[in-house]
Amino acid sequence: MTHFRLESSRLLEVELRNERVMTRAGAMVAYDGQIKFEKSILGGEGLFGALKRRVGGEGFDLMTTSGTGRVYIAQNAAEILLVPLQNEKIFIESSSLLAFDDGMRSNTVFAGLRGASSGQGLFTTTVEGTGNVAAISDGTAILLEVTPSEPLFVDPDAFIGFKGNIRQEFVFDVNWKTMIGQSSGESYQLKFTGQGLVYIQPSERR
């Protein structure tokens, strides 16, 4: 497992010792040592997974970064969130995924009808295994706990990801005020029930 460390809230340092890491293509801003960068055509998911990701609207370019040295990664000065996983799975928006350990498995899964309003698509990305996942956030990411007694509602445009024993549903609230253009602007949400953590950003995607 590679070593992830936040050099600052907007800069990720990844230490490689003859290892590999998957990163968003073009996210490298500096490095030292003997490092090699290669475009990952299949994105670590195999041919079927890569095709499913493209068809599902979760298309994003990954590169395999390998060798020995230190690599510095950033994306448009966004804040970076580190999520360590211990034989766990995180569901994460592809637009928020920055890097993850090469030994972890990524996949594309159906996420429900939230894409009809949020523009994020009907599918989402999962990363599973033991290692580090780095995500980007517009502003400092916020961790919210979901408990069996208290469901959580989230604006789809602020959603980054979640992990744990959580069920995600799409909630759409339409009434007569919505029909005449007098809605609150919060007519749809993601509802989370169960036990786990949800990661959100303090900003809505444009």
Q: What is the mean pLDDT of the chain?
A: 83
Give the largest Cα separation in the chain, rounded. Answer: 63
3-class DSSP state of 92: strand
Q: Among 123, 91, 126, which residue's Cα sits nearest to residue 106?
A: 126
pLDDT at 200: 97
Predicted confidence (pLDDT) at residue 198 exceeds the cutoff of 80: yes
pLDDT at 58: 45
3-class DSSP state of 44: coil
Angle at 158 between CA 189 and CA 196, to 5 degrees: 75
pLDDT at 111: 67
Q: Cβ distance 133 to 100 under 8 Å?
A: yes
Q: How many CA atoms lie within 13 A of 97 on its CB side?
A: 30
Domains in the chain, CATH or no CATH each: 3-200 (3.60.160.10)
Predicted confidence (pLDDT) at residue 12 exceeds the cutoff of 50: yes
Q: Where are the beta strands (DSSP E) in 52-96?
A: 62-73, 79-92
Q: In this predicted model, what pLDDT tens digit does every residue of 50-105 receive, in sequence order?
A: 544 454 444 568 899 999 999 999 999 999 999 999 999 999 998 899 999 988 99
* Distance, CA of 97 to CA of 133 (rounded, Å): 8
User: Which uninterrupted H or E stretch holds 55?
Assistant: helix 46-55
Q: In this predicted model, what pLDDT tens digit does every residue of 164-196 receive, in sequence order?
A: 999 998 887 644 444 444 444 556 788 999 999
Token pair in block for residue 94: 């592809």
pLDDT at 188: 74
- In DSSP terms, which residues pair with 40 in a beta bridge? 62
The whole model's pTM is what? 0.82
